[in-house]
Amino acid sequence: DGGITQSPKYLFRKEGQNVTLSCEQNLNHDAMYWYRQDPGQGLRLIYYSQIVNDFQKGDIAEGYSVSREKKESFPLTVTSAQKNPTAFYLCASSIDGAGNTIYFGEGSWLTVV
Amino acid sequence: GNSVTQMEGPVTLSEEAFLTINCTYTATGYPSLFWYVQYPGEGLQLLLKATKADDKGSNKGFEATYRKETTSFHLEKGSVQVSDSAVYFCALSRSNYQLIWGAGTKLIIKP
C-alpha cells in the first residue's frame, strides 16, 4: 500500500539526548514536511523539503535538524537544544509545493522524561 | 497577513444532529481552502477541499462552500454519527509551503 510511514510511534527521551524520528514515503512525492502539534493547538511547520538534497526552515526550526538524502526519506532529529520537545510530530508529503493535497503519516509521540 | 479562524470547541452534538463548524479566513488573492480531520491518536486526513470561489467540496456526507464574499469555508453535515467524533482543521494555502492552519475544533458526538 502507498503511504507515509513514521517510526517509532512512541518515543521517550532523556533530557540532553538527541533523538531521530523516521519518515518514509512510497508515494513518489517530491515535497516532504515535518509539523509539530501540541495539545489543543494547530500544526506548526518545523522544516520542509521541496526536492532531494534541499530543505528549508519552517516557523519553529530552532532545536531541530533534518536531512533529505533520498526522495523517499526525511528524518527529523530533535536535538538537546530544543527546550520543550514533548509533542506529537507529524510527517507529510505532497506531489509538489503548488497547492496540491498534503498526505500525513500517523504521527510520533515524543515524551521527554 | 493570512490567517484562519475556527469556532472554538469542543462541539458536542447528539447522533443524527446537523453539524456546522465555522471557518473564516483572511488572505489576499485566491487561496485554496481545505478541511482536514484527525481521529484520536492519528495523523490528519484530507476531508475535502475547494480551489476557487463558489466551489463546493464534499466527502463522506460533509460539505463546505468557498465563499469569497464572506471569506468563509464552513463545514456542514446533515446527520452526524458517533464515528464522526474527531478534531477538524480548516486550512488555506497558496502553496504547500505557506499552509495556514486553524487551531482545530474538537467534535464530540453522543449516541
Model confidence pLDDT, tens digit, residues B52-99: 999 999 999 999 999 999 999 999 999 999 999 999 999 998 665 668
The contacts of residue A86 (CB under 8 Å, 6+ apart) are: A110, A111, A112
What pLDDT, on a 0 to 100 scale, did the predictor assign at position B53?
A: 93
**Partner A contacted by B96 (CB < 8 A):** yes
Interatomic CA distance for residues B8 and A46, integer angstroms: 25
Chain B interface disruption, residue of A102, A103, A109, most B CBs within 10 A: A102
Interatomic CA distance for residues B45 and A107, integer angstroms: 12
Instruction: Say whether B43 and A106 touch across the interface (CB within 8 A).
Output: yes
What pLDDT, on a 0 to 100 scale, did the predictor assign at position B57?
A: 97
What pLDDT, on a 0 to 100 scale, did the predictor assign at position B96?
A: 59
What pLDDT, on a 0 to 100 scale, did the predictor assign at position B29?
A: 81
Does position B28 have pLDDT exceeding 90, yes or no? no
Name the residue among B93, B77, B95, B109 with its Cα closest to residue B25: B93
CA nearest B4 in A: which residue?
A: A42
CB count in 10 Å sphere of residue B37 = 21
Sign of CA dihedral B100, A58, B45, A32: positive
- A48 bridge partner residues: A33, A56
Does position A112 have pLDDT exceeding 70, yes or no? yes
Does position A1 have pLDDT exceeding 90, yes or no? no
The pLDDT mean for chain B works out to 92
A19-25: strand order across its sheet: A4-7, A19-25, A76-78, A64-66
- CA of B60 to nearest chain A CA: how many angstroms apart? 17
Interatomic CA distance for residues A56 and A59, integer angstroms: 10
Interatomic CA distance for residues A108 and B41, integer angstroms: 9
What pLDDT, on a 0 to 100 scale, did the predictor assign at position A25?
A: 97
Which of B29 and B4 is assigned the larger pLDDT?
Answer: B4
The pLDDT mean for chain A works out to 91
Share of chain A above pLDDT 90, in %: 73
What pLDDT, on a 0 to 100 scale, did the predictor assign at position B97?
A: 67
What pLDDT, on a 0 to 100 scale, did the predictor assign at position A96?
A: 79
What pLDDT, on a 0 to 100 scale, did the predictor assign at position B18?
A: 98
Instruction: Say whether A97 and B94 touch across the interface (CB within 8 A).
Output: no
Does position B26 have pLDDT exceeding 90, yes or no? yes
> pLDDT per residue over A31-85, tens digit each?
999 999 988 778 899 999 999 999 999 989 999 999 999 999 999 999 988 888 9
